Amino acid sequence: MNIETFRLYCLEKPGVTEELPFGPSTLVFKVMGKIFALTGLDAPEFSVNLKCDPAYAEDLRAANQSIIPGYHMSKKHWNTLNIDQGELSTSLIKELTDHSYDLVVSTHTKALKGALKEMR
């Protein structure tokens, strides 16, 4: 998967926006105003930070050399996927992106969840 394919996958999800709140080199994807994915635009290799359930995050790191604790993020709740290393399948990347999106949506208020349902 390349960065453009990842970008389009994220933008297909209801309520998602892309922003550059940390400057022009960090692309951020938010669902209804909350971050669920970040990626560097000027890094030599494509990687992405995704939110993850802490226990699941540990399991993923143990099973995949290309998944490490979140770079510049809470190591407990975020993973960095080093996609250009070639170890991670497109289906796993999509699964973990969906997991991150769903985790963030679960923290939204009832009103925001209702607005999100109307977008589907």
55 vs 38: CA distance, rounded Å: 21
Looking at CATH, the fold of the domain delimited by 3-115 is given as Aspartate Aminotransferase, domain 1 (3.90.1150)
Q: What is the reported pLDDT for 94?
A: 98
- Which stretches of the chain are assigned E, i.e. beta strand? 16-19, 26-31, 34-40, 47-51, 67-69, 78-82
Give pLDDT tens digits for 3-32.
999 999 999 999 999 999 999 999 999 999
Tell me the per-residue pLDDT of 29-74, one tens digit each, with 9 for 90 and over.
Answer: 999 999 999 999 998 899 999 999 999 999 999 999 999 999 888 8
Residue 79 has pLDDT above 80, yes or no: yes
CA distance 14 to 24: 24
Q: What is the pLDDT of residue 77?
A: 93
Report the pLDDT value the prediction gives residue 38, as an integer from 0 to 100. Answer: 96
Query: What are the residue boundaries of the structural domains of the chain, listed by start?
Result: 3-115
Which of the pair, 71 or 106, is modelled with greater confidence?
106
